[in-house]
Amino acid sequence: MTRFLWFLFSILLFCVAVRAGDCDCAIMDSMETAPKVYFATARARKWKHDDSMPGKLQRLLAAVELTARFGRGEWVAVKTHFGSPGAHRIVRPIFLRTVVDALKGVGAKPFVTDTVRIAGLDYLEVANANGINHLSVGAPVILADGLYGRDSVLMKAGEILKEIAVASVIHDVPAMIVCSHVKGHINAGFAGAIKNLAMGGVSSSHRRYGWKCGRGAMHTIGEGMMDWKEAACERCMQCVEICPLEAIKFKDDAMVWDGQTCWRCGRCQRVCPSAAINFPGNDERFMRSLAESAATVIGTFGPKKILYVNFLTEIQPECDCMPSADVPMVQDVGILVGDDIVAVEQASLDLILKEKPLPSSAAEGIFGDGVSSGDVFKAVLGKNYEFQFEEAERLGLGSRRYEMVELKA
């Protein structure tokens, strides 16, 4: 009898172990399921609209089933970057129109938006000059944080930023498609969807707390006071010309800086030819704060209510905020679409790093003789951009693993 009971008990233990093993396998399978990233190459091999870039974007948007994400009558923000006077390598209006038309096709109500980068009225004029207006994109074009860049909602962020001013329109709208021009960046090294949301989803300055709760908090540390080296200054006045707020002047050959007005955007430091201007900063802190800010913006949306569209075109070394644009470092690659921001960013990077540097660009000859490709971003900009990817993944924004789904020819 005792042996029989032990026999039954052994069978029971075996069954439990098998069931546990089944569960473990199921969990493992679930954990190993990588998010899908949909890709269309920039190459056009047929004389058909379907093989054009706008045509492929239409097909990509159909593949991700917009009807399952955006409801009839639902307001959807199409977040992009309007560019700057002279910075023309932004996401082209034809692509924004394609996104808008696709949203209208499922009954949604889209609008195109960005946050204030320069004075609001001037920024709308820049958008229009760059071809982004109601007529071209087929939807209203608005500023997400108002004409003065102070319409925002203070949100709890993380251990670095503490609180950040999310643009009120982006905070309130129920859904969004983020259209990002992938490029280099003097501070971030790599700028795509994370940078687009982190810097473009928040205001430059909060109505009460100023730059310390705006995007300037990402650029600088502590009090963010400017260090001007008078002896090194050439008085070229580039800092005066590039400041979007006229916060820098020269009086009696000495700089006068308005620290209360300044957004700490760092443009003056960027253009100074003699390194006479410096704001205290830290590359790793900056990049991790980008992920933290992006996480705060994303946290205002429900599950599956944001779609990311990365345009791997005209991949220049600079941000679209600057008043000029360099030539592309590599050839156009294509378009990526997905709902996992980290996966879309990682896939974008992986594709770009396979490309050869273009002649007569900032990337020409950077890998030496006999080497056809490599990390153009690190070679040209010298930044460890992985910090933003690592932090975004740590914060639960997505996975650096992905499954690439390429459009059929």
Q: What mean pLDDT do residues 170-191 have?
A: 95
Please say whether the beta carbons of 199 and 287 come within 8 A.
no
Please say whether the beta carbons of 335 and 180 come within 8 A.
no
pLDDT value at 15 more than 50: no
Per-residue model confidence (pLDDT) at position 368: 74
Per-residue model confidence (pLDDT) at position 369: 62
Please say whether the beta carbons of 353 and 373 come within 8 A.
yes
Kindly list the distances between the CA atom of residue 266 and the CA atoms of 109, 344, 398, in Å, as whole numbers in the listed order: 36, 28, 29
HEC per residue, 26-92: HHHHHHHCCCEEEEEECCCCCCCHHHCHHHHHHHHHHHCCHHHCCCCCCEEEEECCCCECCECCCCC
Q: What mean pLDDT do residues 87-94 have?
A: 95
Per-residue model confidence (pLDDT) at position 106: 98
The mean predicted confidence, pLDDT, of the chain is: 90
Interstrand relation of 141-143 and 109-114 (parallel, antiparallel or unpaired): parallel
pLDDT in tens, 210-259: 988 998 889 888 788 999 999 999 999 999 998 988 999 999 999 999 99
Closest CA to 34 of 286, 395, 398, 409: 398
Per-residue model confidence (pLDDT) at position 32: 61
Per-residue model confidence (pLDDT) at position 280: 87
Per-residue model confidence (pLDDT) at position 145: 97
Per-residue model confidence (pLDDT) at position 89: 94
What are phi and psi for residue 197, nearest 5 degrees?
-80, -40
- Range scoring the smallest mean pLDDT among 54-63, 73-82, 253-262, 287-296: 253-262
- DSSP for 280-347 reads ---HHHHHHHHHHHHHHHHTTS-TT-EEEEEEE-S--SS-TTSSS-PPPSB---EEEEES-HHHHHHH
Per-residue model confidence (pLDDT) at position 220: 87
Closest CA to 381 of 315, 287, 318, 312: 318
In the chain the domains, ranked by start, together with CATH numbers, are: 34-219+282-406 (3.40.50), 227-278 (3.30.70.20)
Kindly list the distances between the CA atom of residue 163 and the CA atoms of 2, 101, 186, in Å, as whole numbers in the listed order: 67, 36, 24
H-helix or E-strand containing 94?
Answer: helix 93-105
Buried b (16+ CB within 10 A) or exposed e, 63-83: ebebeebbeeebbbbbbbbbb
Per-residue model confidence (pLDDT) at position 20: 37
pLDDT tier for residue 266 given thresholds of 50, 70 and 90: confident
- Range scoring the smallest mean pLDDT among 291-300, 343-352, 376-385: 376-385
Please say whether the beta carbons of 140 and 134 come within 8 A.
yes
pLDDT in tens, 17-40: 333 333 332 222 334 689 999 999
Q: How far is CA 18 from the centre of its chain?
A: 46
d(CA 284, CA 165): 21
The residues near 102 (Cβ < 8 Å, ≥ 6 apart) are 58, 61, 62, 66
pLDDT in tens, 317-371: 989 888 888 999 999 999 999 999 999 999 999 999 999 999 999 999 888 765 6
Closest CA to 146 of 203, 75, 215: 203
Please say whether the beta carbons of 163 and 155 come within 8 A.
yes
Question: How many percent of the chain have pLDDT more than 70?
Answer: 91
d(CA 328, CA 358): 7
What are phi and psi for residue 138, nearest 5 degrees?
75, 20
pLDDT tier for residue 3 given thresholds of 50, 70 and 90: very low
165: tokens are 């001013």
Per-residue model confidence (pLDDT) at position 299: 97
> Helix (H, G, I), strand (E, B), or coil: what is residue 111?
strand
Q: Which residues share a beta bridge with 178?
A: 79, 308
Q: State pTM to two decimals.
A: 0.87
137 or 242, which is more confident: 137
DSSP one-letter code for 261: T
DSSP one-letter code for 403: E
Q: What mean pLDDT do residues 91-120 have?
A: 97
pLDDT value at 128 more than 50: yes
pLDDT tier for residue 409 given thresholds of 50, 70 and 90: confident
Question: Which residue type is seen at 356?
Answer: K
pLDDT value at 1 more than 60: no
pLDDT tier for residue 8 given thresholds of 50, 70 and 90: very low
Look-up of token digits 């329109």: 169
